[in-house]
Structure 1
Amino acid sequence: MREANPGAIYLKDYSAPAFLINRTELHFELGEEETLVHARLHLLRSPEHAGQAPLELQGQNLELVSVGVDFDELSPDQYRVDEDSLVIDKVPEQFVLKTTTRIRPQDNTSLEGLYKSSGMFCTQCEAEGFRKITYYLDRPDVMAVFTVTITADPARYPVLLSNGNLLDDKILADGRREVLWHDPFPKPCYLFALVAGDLQYVEDTFTTMSGREVSLNLYVEEKDLPKCDHAMDSLKRSMRWDEEVYGRMYDLDIFNIVAVDDFNMGAMENKSLNIFNTSCVLCHPDTTTDAGYQRVEAIVAHEYFHNWSGNRVTCRDWFQLSLKEGFTVFRDAEFSSDMGSRTVKRVEDVSVLRTAQFAEDAGPMAHPVRPESYIEINNFYTLTVYEKGAEVVRMIHTLLGPELFRAGSDLYFRRHDGQAVTCEDFVRAMEDASGCDLGQFRRWYSQAGTPELRVFDEYDEDARTYTLHVSQSCPATPGQASKEPFVIPLAVGLLGDAGNLRLQVAGEEPDYETDDNTHRVLVVDQAEQSFVFTDVGEHPIPSLLRGFSAPVKLDYPYSRGQLCELMSRDDDGFVRWDSAQSLARRVIEEVQQQLAAGQAARVDVLLAQACERLLGDSSLEPAMVAEMLTLPSENYLAEQAKEGEADVELISRARAAVKAAVGEACAGLFLQRYEELAITEPYAASGEQIGQRALRNLCLDYLACANSDYLALARDQFGAADNITDRLAALRALAFYGAESDWSKPLQRFLEDWRGETLAINQWFTVQALMSDSGAVERVRELMQHPAFDPRNPNKVRALVGAFCAQNPRQFHREDGAGYRLLGEVVESLNHSNPQLASRMLTPLTRWRRYRGRAELMRAELERLAALPDLSPDVYELVSKSL
């Protein structure tokens, strides 16, 4: 904890390490009261640092038992130890450092380093957790071959795992068990992993394209063995896809996954020993929603893909975090698209970007994909680094095309295998493989904020030309008042009376060989540009930003009629969804104005008519119809308001009025589709069934919102459901639109039925957190005292308090400030025990400048936190930057 304000670390100050580590030998003696860690580090002075620089190793919360160099133990006057480091002034050019440290994993509530979860030892070392295990050069550009010995009581810990291959397993004379693991691939210490516990496992095998058989093992508690099949199948699909699409084979003989209850993140890609949050690996229809099944598949793929994009080639420093995360998010998104609906996946990803990442870009924590500085690196595991970073990679893919992009990735892996590199190295490989100059494109890595494209058009009937005039700008962000033009791939089409028109850009040779002549990617790289299309026989409707070709905001003056045409007839699925969202947003904003003026809500019938057409469109898959019919969220609508003008009360009332009006106007069709989409076959997490359930449950939501008589459907569905997706949809309808008499007994029954299932109970917490009645804050406080709630478990904190603060805006922003006080108290309580979780929970308060009538209350809670004497660096950074 801080005694003074922590200082920032800057990218410009990077320097190569003074020492390197060739080999790391660790011996863990695991005990109930304490754990001893014996380390032998084979060090040598870096050629770039010739001279007598002292050896400085990082360490936190460690008790140093002994330290020696080669064969000599050092006396206390030969080294210095403080709360953050071990410094030895005089060392040889090459030597072996031997240390023994004492740690207490059972007291480690930060869930970083080595800690205990449900009686099991496990680790989380990214970003800087390894320094809580032993003194080390805890930075990603120091890579070593690890050999790990683990000694433990075999009765308590029959499973002892680490990275690499198992070389030895024996029982010692004193009855303890000792295992020896060796990972032949050099890695930074953030990829180190250890697990020791009483676990069971499911096993399978995978044969690589070279014919080598890999043993696959998924370790869980015995009660969770029936929930492993989906993750194992996802792993095998991921391994095959990475071979077929990227030519990447797995490189060891064993791949292990372990499920852990207490975990700050979703999962961790430790070399050959992935550690997962249970919520991201366990699946069963009774406890896992359809969205949960899809999330597990995506996260299993993400962590596996890291074996190359992150492990074999890693990042030089933490400023380059998007080098591995952005690239891997792009890869897992492509995998998910290939496994299911590409359009639906794209829509889901864009929804996250527009609602949360764009908000990050517009807030006090705005930073480039590659930040210039940070105080606490854990705060930069952000949507900007991950999701926007993936969009940057996607734009390179769009600009180069799939074949040249694959050539670039092949060159990148071949050139940098076993190295710690930078974002420039990735882009340079793409340039060298394609011959394309990406110099200006690099601004996406260094400039923060969301670019804005303003577009207007002209049609010359006599010349049969159609012109798009495009200008780009980017708002000021902290530390960056002005921005240079980005390179923005703008995918376009032109919609005519009979469908999408053939495109020919003036000055370009016609391409008669391609079938894709209704779609073109324009490269916007100047502040203002114009693009002329020739031989256009009618004034078209522009189909802009197709496939969301760049992470930008788009301003074009569409009429409501044009939006209806696009959402009904355009051949780009994303544009159809985006047009539906734009139409709904305009109608909701119009109702907001009516309510603000004291008028009754009058909902434009055009929206209901458009929804009717969608419900009757058999050409669209049900999952896509569900996405198009889902109204923009309250959080997204708040982000569209000008700074200081978001009125959460008006937004909530207007959105509810529009939903009820559409539900009432289309009740017959909603009911018809609800009945048609009933599934009589056993549950399957297939794309077809998931889409059917999504649309059916959306129909139920509209019906229940429009008329309480339809709550009978929800009661019947809750009783008859054979899966938690349908059960929760029914429970939400009862809880959100019914009286207490409608939801109290179903809630109690859900609790009784699934009391022993943690994942299901977390959903039970979330349903109650999202109920928007006036007693929501008090209900959340009461639930925090429930026996099933554990304030030390990140999943439970996120399921209850996190869901309330982030997804129940009307009650979080209650006018008396009770929601802000609740969040502030939770952050304060976590500040000591789990600073990383505390800072992540704080995000809703950082947007205080956006809200009308609430800003002062939100700011006051931030100021109260800022005045606390012992803020962790994690919380301090967010609070100070927000104020």
Structure 2
Amino acid sequence: MRDAQPQAIFLKDYQQPAYWIERTELTFELQAEFTLVTSQLQLTRNDDVAQDGSLTLHGQELELLSVVIDGVEQSGDQYQLDDESLTLQGLAENPVVTIKTRIYPHKNTALEGLYQSGSMYCTQCEAEGFRRITYYLDRPDVMSVFTTHIIADAGQYPVLLSNGNLIAEQTLANGTKQVSWNDPHKKPAYLFALVAGDLQVKEDTFTTMSGREVALKIFVEPQNIDKTDYALDALKRSMKWDEESYGREYDLDIFMIVAVDDFNMGAMENKGLNIFNSSCVLANPATATDAAYQRIEAIVAHEYFHNWSGNRVTCRDWFQLSLKEGFTVFRDACFSADMNSATVKRIEDARIMRTVQFAEDAGPMAHPVQPDSFIEISNFYTVTIYEKGAEVVGMQRKILGDDGFRKGSDLYFDRHDGQAVTIYDFTQAMEDANGVDLTLFKRWYKQAGTPVVSVSSEYDADKQQLSLTLKQRCPDTPGQTDKQPMWIPVQFGLLNSRGQDLPVAVEPASAWTQASQVLHLTEAEQTFVFSNVAEQPVVSLFRDFSAPVKVEFDQSRDELLFLLQHDSDGFNRWDAGQRLMLQWINDAMSGNFVLDSAAEQVLRSLLRDEELDPAMVAYLLTLPSESYIAEFSAVIDPQAIYHARKQVRQTLAQALSADFKAVYQRLSNSATYAPEPRQMSARALKNLALSYWVLTDNEGLQQAQQQYQQADNMTDQMAAFVTLINSSDADLSEEYLQRFYQQWQGDVLVVNQWLAAQAGSSQLASAKFISTLLQHDAFDWRNPNKVRSVIGAFANQALCHFHAEDGSGYRLLADAVIRLNGSNPQIAARLLAPLTKWKRVIPQQGAQMKAELERIMAESDLSKDVYEVVSKSLV
């Protein structure tokens, strides 16, 4: 164990810096064994802070060569230097500081700052990577105008990129060249980017709403140039959507994207030069699934939308991270809903919240959307900050209405353009634009945990009156007890016996209830009374997933079947089906599951309804995942969950075998593949039907083989491949594992899919199997995508093997974390989440999980990233 415990940083301790950096001029000399970095900083004294003429700059793993202040080189006794900072003394009011450092990008396995991915140089500076490049005020409230000069061998690195607009390019001696870029918009250091490599470019243009022409460029390694069309199209659609939906126009002459194989995150919104994990930008029909296309569309949009919600208006400090990430996830979700099916998108959002975010809220790393403290900021790039933050923004739109929300966002952007601000500046703009008080609502930002809403209903036939009583509570989380009531918008409907929505009138009426079909739960307990209800209705609550809460509502199975069949809200149809299926799985765990005829008939009617969106039907017929089931279990018994779910799935397959076969045949066609919503929807249901069909007879398995052999796209080939390797025929599984690899071993991204399909397989992925897979030539510990494809897929998907009773799955994960702790602590810490749930798992296995956490904790020299997660998990 490390001798000195890392110290927490607290929001309450925020202070402005002693100096601002008005201009930053950087010169990079890229050499074979190292890179020389010269930074010239034009500083301005901050008169709001008491001064002693000193300034501490952040730095990490830097070799300091010289410090010059106002033209005078400083000797070693004129500044203080340690492992994480450089402190300057005797600064004037507007000094110019020039610092020269040497760094070693080829040794940078943490993939923060400037590093090498293959033969390419690239950067990742969010959150605190810039301090690995040069000494600097590496904090988001310090915004500066950047000019960057890059000097490199012209033959080896013909493409040299940085933020902003290209301002100069010249040939130098000895076969080198210098390229200069200027970003006229002030930005914090975390948005800095640099790329150097031998790259090819896909180009297009976009004309903004004011008539300016913007050059669009996607840079990739030569072998990937045929995989850029879709990302470029998604970028253009994103730019148009942002203009139409938010009135936001792009502000530079050029927008660039670069695809990088080695990247800790999905993508990064660096001003004008977005750097993407290659898996989030490269696609063609042969190599990318429909899910990959949709992910690319969403991530391209997300990073582009950051140009305003994150770049032009940025965070004052990292406690405000959801200011940019939550808002931008909300924006990209709305974009995806407009491009595809809004209902399906909402279901996907809810599944992530219920499976991953609710688990985070229930675990040792639970934190508010605006945290109070952290040890390592990288650990707070979480589903709470991103997805729950997006839900909090969405609830504000639900409260204010579309027009009111747009007025608020316009005011926010106009008021704070070019500033580093806080979450409450966002809510203040919403308040001021609409004349409302959101004080109560702001508790969503400061209280951790998932609220629980319990519901009871009473119908008075004589009075034709329905009473709904809603009670809310929020469980204790680390460091927070006695939670206060939240403002929870409850979108609802009442259905009559024919499945039609009833008109509703709430007594007493208020501005928040009279016309919106949204109830506003603002107290610990409230009763809402509905008049003129001619018959006892079926209640449909939290339509459109109107708030990220758990709901306790004891509706009968008949009512759930009725909602599944009739609810006009597609999200609640799915939700009713999930609640029903959870009951079946619980029945199976207790040995009492029987699929009744009424449920079978409803499911059959859904499969036969050709008017329904096929993707929607696919979701309605998909059982909750094992992780989803676990989040609705008081105590998690992984093996019981696995076997119960398997039994229910087999039962559905047998009962509906003819219908699944018919659906598969109906949706199979020879149309040329296109990544467009109608086709994607049909493929989703077709491949779900195949996955059920193969469980019942050999004909289905034969059809899977035929689909694999004849597929002209990765969606169909991968669906057949996953089905075949998970069959009970071990020889068939091995045959297709080899066939797939032989076909695709030259494509890195497809091989990653191949790794993940095995590692996440309940049929294959024992700890022994994973250990063998880690020795495969296709695996590389240095590449985050490969680590996620094997270790991440195993620990999060193959739960019956990860939770093996002998503890081998836990040991494998702990070994991986220990190995990665020294080379890439960010990835190591992110892999830990499955082990942090040890208190919720049945005692015998929970003890084994805890023992592995203790083994990690006993390691010497733990990174701050890993230390924070493990230490909090063991409390």
Task: Tell whether the structures are fold-level matches, with TM greater than 0.5.
Answer: yes
Q: Distance in 2 between matches of 1:576 and 1:768?
A: 33
Q: Distance in 1 between matches of 2:15 and 2:236?
A: 40
Q: Distance in 1 between matches of 2:511 and 2:492?
A: 16
Letter in 1 for 2:570: G
Match of 1:575 among 547, 572, 577: 572
The equivalent of 2:709 in structure 1 is: 719
Corresponding residue SS for 2:175: coil
Give the 3 Å change call, closer, same or farther, for CA 510–782 of structure 1 in structure 2. Answer: closer
The equivalent of 2:243 in structure 1 is: 243
The equivalent of 1:882 in structure 2 is: 873
- 1:798 equivalent to 2:791? Answer no
- 1:636 equivalent to 2:637? Answer no
The equivalent of 1:543 in structure 2 is: 540
Letter in 1 for 2:832: L
Letter in 1 for 2:560: L
Q: Distance in 2 between matches of 1:25 and 1:206?
A: 30
Contact 1:587 1:604 in 2 (8 A): no
Offset of residue 392 of structure 1: 0.2
The equivalent of 1:377 in structure 2 is: 377
Q: Distance in 2 between matches of 1:276 and 1:679?
A: 34
Contact 2:325 2:389 in 1 (8 A): yes
The equivalent of 1:68 in structure 2 is: 68
Letter in 2 for 1:589: N
Q: Deviations over 1:323-382 (max 9, x none)?
A: 000000000000000001000000001000000000000000000000000000000000
Moved more, 730-739 or 371-380: 730-739
The equivalent of 1:270 in structure 2 is: 270
Contact 1:708 1:737 in 2 (8 A): no
Match of 1:731 among 715, 721, 733: 721
Q: Deviations over 1:60-114 (max 9, x none)?
A: 0000000010110001110111110001122112100111000000000000000
Match of 1:667 among 630, 645, 657: 657
Offset of residue 554 of structure 1: 0.7
Q: Deviations over 1:537-558 (max 9, x none)?
A: 0000100000000000111111
Contact 1:587 1:607 in 2 (8 A): no
Q: Distance in 1 between matches of 2:4 and 2:598?
A: 59
Letter in 2 for 1:117: S
- 1:210 equivalent to 2:203? Answer no
Instruction: Please give the residue correspondences for 1:169-248 in structure 2 after superposition, counting only pairs within 5 Å.
Output: 169-248=169-248
Corresponding residue SS for 1:185: strand
The equivalent of 2:603 in structure 1 is: 611
Q: Deviations over 1:493-521 (max 9, x none)?
A: 00111311011112338999x9xx7x710
Letter in 1 for 2:804: R
The equivalent of 2:770 in structure 1 is: 780
Offset of residue 611 of structure 1: 1.4
Letter in 1 for 2:296: V
Instruction: Please give the residue correspondences for 1:116-127 in structure 2 after superposition, counting only pairs within 5 Å.
Output: 116-127=116-127
Q: Distance in 2 between matches of 1:530 and 1:634?
A: 35
Taking structure 1 as the reference length, the TM-score comes to 0.97
- 1:820 equivalent to 2:821? Answer no
The equivalent of 1:25 in structure 2 is: 25
Q: Distance in 1 between matches of 2:368 and 2:291?
A: 30
The equivalent of 2:689 in structure 1 is: 699
Q: Deviations over 1:767-794 (max 9, x none)?
A: 1112224762111111111111111000
Letter in 2 for 1:634: E
Offset of residue 175 of structure 1: 2.5
Offset of residue 53 of structure 1: 4.9
Q: Distance in 2 between matches of 1:706 and 1:698?
A: 14
Contact 2:761 2:797 in 1 (8 A): no
The equivalent of 2:54 in structure 1 is: 54
Offset of residue 391 of structure 1: 0.2
Give the 3 Å change call, closer, same or farther, for CA 871–605 of structure 1 in structure 2. Answer: farther
Offset of residue 461 of structure 1: 1.1
- 1:554 equivalent to 2:561? Answer no
Match of 2:757 among 737, 743, 767: 767
Match of 2:737 among 747, 767, 777: 747
Offset of residue 19 of structure 1: 1.1
Letter in 2 for 1:200: Q
Q: Distance in 1 between matches of 2:394 and 2:216?
A: 31
Offset of residue 709 of structure 1: 4.6
Q: Distance in 1 between matches of 2:53 and 2:546?
A: 49
The equivalent of 2:168 in structure 1 is: 168
Q: Deviations over 1:674-733 (max 9, x none)?
A: 000002111111111111110011111111223455211111111111111111111111
Q: Distance in 2 between matches of 1:174 and 1:98?
A: 26
The equivalent of 1:502 in structure 2 is: 503
Letter in 2 for 1:484: Q
The equivalent of 1:368 in structure 2 is: 368
Contact 1:2 1:873 in 2 (8 A): no
Taking structure 2 as the reference length, the TM-score comes to 0.98
Corresponding residue SS for 1:48: coil
The equivalent of 1:524 in structure 2 is: 521
Contact 2:726 2:764 in 1 (8 A): no
Give the 3 Å change call, closer, same or farther, for CA 509–849 of structure 1 in structure 2. Answer: closer
Contact 1:584 1:607 in 2 (8 A): no
Letter in 2 for 1:722: D
Contact 1:113 1:133 in 2 (8 A): yes
Offset of residue 604 of structure 1: 4.0
The equivalent of 2:142 in structure 1 is: 142
Moved more, 403-412 or 606-615: 606-615
Corresponding residue SS for 1:252: coil
The equivalent of 2:801 in structure 1 is: 811
- 1:860 equivalent to 2:860? Answer no
Contact 2:68 2:99 in 1 (8 A): yes
Q: Distance in 1 between matches of 2:221 and 2:75?
A: 46
Corresponding residue SS for 2:543: coil
Count residues in correspondence. 872
Contact 1:828 1:838 in 2 (8 A): yes
Instruction: Please give the residue correspondences for 1:275-674 in structure 2 after superposition, counting only pairs within 5 Å.
Output: 275-498=275-498, 499-508=500-509, 520-594=517-591, 602-642=594-634, 645-674=635-664
Q: Distance in 2 between matches of 1:707 and 1:288?
A: 29
Give the 3 Å change call, closer, same or farther, for CA 479–495 of structure 1 in structure 2. Answer: same
Q: Distance in 1 between matches of 2:780 and 2:715?
A: 24
Contact 1:661 1:706 in 2 (8 A): no
Identity, in percent, stands at 56
Q: Distance in 1 between matches of 2:94 and 2:800?
A: 62
Q: Distance in 1 between matches of 2:205 and 2:511?
A: 50
Letter in 2 for 1:267: A
Offset of residue 534 of structure 1: 1.0
Corresponding residue SS for 2:838: helix
Contact 2:53 2:92 in 1 (8 A): no
Q: Distance in 1 between matches of 2:802 and 2:311?
A: 40
Corresponding residue SS for 2:694: helix
Q: Distance in 2 between matches of 1:705 and 1:804?
A: 23
Give the 3 Å change call, closer, same or farther, for CA 270–509 of structure 1 in structure 2. Answer: closer
Q: Distance in 1 between matches of 2:335 and 2:540?
A: 26
Moved more, 83-92 or 791-800: 83-92
Which consecutive segments of 4 or more residues in structure 1 shift more than 3 A?
509-512, 601-607, 706-709
Q: Distance in 2 between matches of 1:775 and 1:107?
A: 33
Corresponding residue SS for 2:467: strand
Q: Deviations over 1:43-69 (max 9, x none)?
A: 122111132152100000000000010
Moved more, 385-394 or 12-21: 12-21
Contact 1:591 1:603 in 2 (8 A): no
Q: Deviations over 1:208-238 (max 9, x none)?
A: 0000000000000111011000000000000
Q: Distance in 2 between matches of 1:775 and 1:424?
A: 47
Q: Distance in 2 between matches of 1:349 and 1:401?
A: 20
Offset of residue 120 of structure 1: 0.4
Contact 1:26 1:149 in 2 (8 A): yes
Q: Deviations over 1:827-859 (max 9, x none)?
A: 011000000000001111011111113101000
Letter in 2 for 1:881: K
